[in-house]
Amino acid sequence: MQLERLIQQSLIWRGFYFCSILLLNIVFSRQLEAAGIGWIYFLTNIFSLVVLVGSFNLDSGFTFMVSSQKIKAQSLAWFGIVFTALMALFIFGGSSFYFKYYPSSGISTPIALQYSLLYIVGIILVNLFTVLFYADNNFFIPNIVLGSINLILALGLIIAKSLGFTNNQLIHIYFSFFLLQGVFLTIAYFLFYKKAMIFSLPNKEQLYLLFKYSSISLCSNLVFFFTYRIDYWFVEMYCSTSDLGNYIQASKLGQMLLIVPQILASAVFPATANKIHQYDTASIIAILARIIIQVFVCITMLILLVGNWLFPLLFGNSFQQLYQPMLLLMPGILSLAILVLLSAFFGGKNKVYINIIGVSIGLVIVVIADSFLVKSWGIKGAAIASSIAYVANLLFCLQQFVKHSNIRFTELLHFQQSDWLWLKQMLFSNKTV
């Protein structure tokens, strides 16, 4: 399948899914307000770290092994179920230990343990089976399933609130839907791929390759995780719960702006891993980078003009402090938008070490900067520190991209009308549908 067609299909169906996430975010934020949503998202941030370590980052290994045709998807699907079941036992023990010594504010330890299991097991299943669909260039089913469940949850939260449900009950519904997504997506995979119902597991040699690749990728993603989320801990330590809610919301909006680059990256990785049209892939990355820069300049200007009143209108009056950190994060978010493309390129070429070095540079910078700036300037300082770190990461990876491709650095800034004509043809040409 041509890279342009992969991008087109991914944009349509993953776009639907991420729009559903945005709607759910708005609904849930208005119901819990900044202080309430702040600790929920901070808790899920801790759970996300457990998902990354507990799943051994196997989703990246799944992607590479299927895309490079080293392990059959059928075997990985069954292994994913077995692995998730085993990890649930370890997660239960680990979460019990954590919440015993570090209880979460606002909820009891048994409830926190329940939330951890619902979220972590559900997300591991979602991650593993989503990449199996994507590896087969199937963007429709996983995004329809996940997006539809998000829309049902958003509607359910609105109805539940109108019926007088308490915030604690709404939070319980919210976490329950993560497991529901994982289970439904797993069932959908086996229903769509009938031949996968025959039980099969990878052999020892294949498992060695899988865990070898995943372990290298895990190192990269662990550093990546702390680089892009360690600011949450600094804000939680030095700022109020309302500040935490506003900052995490700004960060999540920034992640929403990364939706399209992430969609593009999901198409770039398999194309690069399959070692087809490598020069064309690098050229397309250069085109996309130029388009992304122009789009982000326009978005930044729009936020500058209307963000001060638009954010409280969307999320509620408790998000009055969202405007400034959002603006200060924009240079960093632009850097991340280009970085996700470059990371997919290096990952597909099995040069994950470049991603590790780049993100390590960012981690050192963000920790040092946060240590000084958050104490003095609060969430504005955290936003400044993050942007500085992300820009430094980008500069290193750009240097490596130029080195490992036929693209010159100046080409990334050589804006052309033909870029937009290419994008228009890719998105609307009937030949790629």
Say how far apart CA 13 and CA 7 lie, in whole Å. 10
Structural domain tally of the chain?
Answer: 1
pLDDT at 316 (0 to 100): 93
CB 115 within 8 A of CB 43: yes
* Residues near 381 by beta carbon (within 8 Å), at least 6 away in sequence: 370, 372, 373, 374, 375
What's the rounded Cα separation, in Å, for the pair 178 and 180? 5
Q: Which residue has the tokens 């959002």?
A: 326
What pLDDT, on a 0 to 100 scale, did the predictor assign at position 433?
A: 37
What's phi and psi for 407, nearest 5 deg?
-95, 130
Return d(Cα 87, Cα 85) in angstroms, integer. Answer: 5
Compute the distance between CA of residue 307 and CA of residue 322 in angstroms, rounded to an integer. Answer: 9
- Residue 227 is part of which domain span? 3-432
Angle (nearest 5°) at CA 16 between 85 and 126:
5
Report the C-alpha gap between 312 and 315 in whole angstroms.
5
Residues of the chain with pLDDT under 50: 1, 273, 275-279, 431-433
Q: How far separated are the first and last CA of the chain, in Å rounded?
A: 11
User: Crossing angle, helix 278-315 and helix 241-257, to 10 degrees?
Assistant: 140
Three-state SS for 36? helix
